[in-house]
Amino acid sequence: MTTISGLTANSTTPYLNANNPQNAPVIVQGKVVSTPNKGFVVPSTAYHPRDSIVEPIHNPQDFKRDPSPRRCNDLIWAILFLIHLGAMVWVAIYYIPQMTNRLGADYAADANNDDHRRFLEQDQGDQDWSYQNIDNGYLYDNNAITLNLPSTIAVVAVTCVSGIFLATTALGFMVLFAETLIRVGFIATALLSLVMGMASVATGQIAAAIASFVMFVLVTWYACNAWPRIPFAATNLVTATTIVRDNLGVAVYAYLSLALAFGWAVWWTSATIAALFVLGDCEGDGTCNNDLDPFLIFLFLASYHWTFHVIANVVTVTVAGVSGTWWMVPSEGNQFCSKAVTDSYYRANTLAFGSICLGSLVVAIVSAAKEIIRQMRDGRDSVLVCIAEFLLGCIKNILEYFNEWAFCFVGIYGYSFVESGMQVMDLLRSRGWTSIITDDLSGRALFIVSFFVALLNGLIGWAFGSVIPLGEGVPEIVPFLIAMVTGFTLCSTLFSVVGSACKSVIVLYAEAPNEFQANHPELSNRMRISWQQAWPVDFKYG
């Protein structure tokens, strides 16, 4: 039993909510965040937190889970991560100037080499190769193909804005047509496999044709079996989309993570290439005099994956915290920049940061090992190497899957990473929901919407490029491709937030269905009906 501000809570959740007839304050991760509205009507039948059957709760103060103390969990891993970032800063500062100086010396030597000069100036076919120049904003060469840099930047900027607008609009579209989109996703996947198979037959690619037709049969078989469960997946998707739409400020942090990931990729690439260039005693033509230590390469790869996953998982934990507050305390999580958004992002970068670093490191190590094995396979064709790569890929997928659920508890309840993983798996196993959590059909709908947003954004880019040309000789499809890639990237980033919210919805529904009914009755009724139809045996909430 835990006593907070004179109130006694049974061990199950940090949310002391309106189920208390005395109007107890709402506690999130040990902190009072709000007081429930007066006159709240408690449903006459609630759900026992640990039983798999519906029964009245006679004790109105029977809450879900002990509030987690507000502390920095897994602190040592956060410290190690920051030390690692400092090391990468030092690597960049120390090695990049050395590589630049060496390349400058090599270039000066080559500039005095007549053979090198003749190579640069020789005619190859009808093309006369020369150095490129920038003049008045134009990047040009003597082949009369010019690129207007300001116009290119303008196209990218406009399509970024249009991509964000289209992706945000698509959230509302998914709320209305979630079930249809999932069905379209199944049909489109099957048809694509069939078309690829017929195209492979037409071009004589028998192996590719067989693979495509087998994929068509498997997708069709799976669609026929999963078709009755589409309303279940659609309800989860609608609930998750509603959470993100009501707290759209979380998308800002998702786009920020995209910018951070891009910046990290540039920084890591520069630092890693410089370090390997200098340590390998490499020349300007790419030849190296020293053999590089494979363990050093492994460390650099682990560094890249670790930081990349930390950036992504900060958003995942933030979304979980926002979902929990929206579920339990809707008054705190129903605005663009709501308290739920700001507080959850703060917790993800402070109290939960060590847990994020630990979970991300486990996946990063396996990812780096898989990259090393892949390089070994490219160097020599070995059955054992292929098997090792396959096994590491399976382990990586399992760890990423485990992390997604563990980070739900990290964000919602503030537990450590290991404790969160154990608690969430114990919860879902005790509910008998292991088959439910593996039946995620929403990914197809998210991809379909992202693809169409990319196409629409591509058309906007093409129209803008026709008004403001990118330069002379630049193909008309270039602005379309730039806008399409931009739109797909932005939309996928936003919808990754929706995907994280989908998992949080399942965890929260397992923990607190009564609170969902009290705070969001329309969505709760729809979810209960669709879950009962899809899982009549496993679902026990009446």
Mind listing the pLDDT tens digit for each residue in 293-326? 888 999 999 999 999 999 999 999 999 999 999 9
One-letter identity of residue 348: A
Average pLDDT for the chain = 77
Distance CA 50, CA 64 (A): 9
CB atoms within 10 A of CB 53: 9
With beta carbons less than 8 A apart as the criterion, state whether 532 and 538 touch.
no
CA 398 to chain centre: 16
Considering only residues 84 and 64, tell me which one the structure prediction assigns the higher pLDDT: 84
Considering only residues 115 and 377, tell me which one the structure prediction assigns the higher pLDDT: 377
With beta carbons less than 8 A apart as the criterion, state whether 264 and 307 touch.
yes
Considering only residues 68 and 262, tell me which one the structure prediction assigns the higher pLDDT: 262
Q: Residue 8 — φ and ψ, nearest 5°?
A: -105, 130
How does residue 21 score in pLDDT terms, banded at 50, 70 and 90? very low
Distance CA 276, CA 283 (A): 12
Considering only residues 16 and 79, tell me which one the structure prediction assigns the higher pLDDT: 79
pLDDT tens-digit readout, 1-10? 333 333 333 3
Burial 449-466 (b: 16+ CB within 10 A, else e): bbbbbbbbbbebbbebbe
CA 294 to chain centre: 29
| % the chain with pLDDT above 70 | 75
> What is the DSSP code (8-state) at residue 27?
E
Q: 3-state SS of 179-245?
A: HHHHHHHHHHHHHHHHHHHHHHHHCCCHHHHHHHHHHHHHHHHHHHHHHHHHHHHHHHHHHHHHHHH
Closest CA to 324 of 526, 530, 501: 501
Query: 82 Cβ partners below 8 Å, 6+ apart?
Result: none
What are the percentages of helix, strand and coil residues in the chain, rounded to 5? 70, 5, 25
With beta carbons less than 8 A apart as the criterion, state whether 179 and 234 touch.
yes
116-120, 127-131, 366-370, 465-469: least confidently modelled range: 127-131
User: C-alpha angle with apex 387: 382 to 388, nearest 5 degrees?
Assistant: 95
Distance CA 308, CA 301 (A): 11
With beta carbons less than 8 A apart as the criterion, state whether 313 and 362 touch.
no
Predicted confidence at residue 25, as pLDDT, reads 42
With beta carbons less than 8 A apart as the criterion, state whether 381 and 326 touch.
no
Q: Which tokens hold the place of 154?
A: 């303008």
**DSSP string over 403-417:** HHHHHHHHHHH---H
Closest CA to 222 of 179, 181, 185, 197: 185
CB atoms within 10 A of CB 56: 10
Tokens 């960049």, located at residue: 92
Distance CA 351, CA 411 (A): 10
Rg (CA), the chain: 27
**Domain boundaries in the chain?**
2-34, 75-92+148-176+242-534
> In what helix (H) or strand (E) does residue 128 lie, and over which residues does it extend?
strand 127-128
**Exposed/middle/buried for residue 21 (C-beta within 10 Å: 0-12, 13-18, 19+):** exposed
pLDDT tens-digit readout, 168-223? 888 888 888 888 888 888 888 889 889 998 998 888 888 888 988 998 898 899 88
Distance CA 327, CA 33 (A): 14
Distance CA 225, CA 223 (A): 5
pLDDT tens-digit readout, 196-208? 989 988 888 888 8
Closest CA to 164 of 470, 489, 433, 411: 489
Q: What is the pTM of this model?
A: 0.77
Predicted confidence at residue 112, as pLDDT, reads 57
Mean pLDDT to the nearest integer, 491-520: 89
How does residue 495 score in pLDDT terms, banded at 50, 70 and 90? confident
Distance CA 374, CA 382 (A): 11
Q: Does residue 70 carry a pLDDT above 90?
A: no
Closest CA to 464 of 112, 57, 157, 119: 157
Cα separations (Å) of 191 from 188, 217, 219, 452, 454? 5, 11, 10, 17, 20
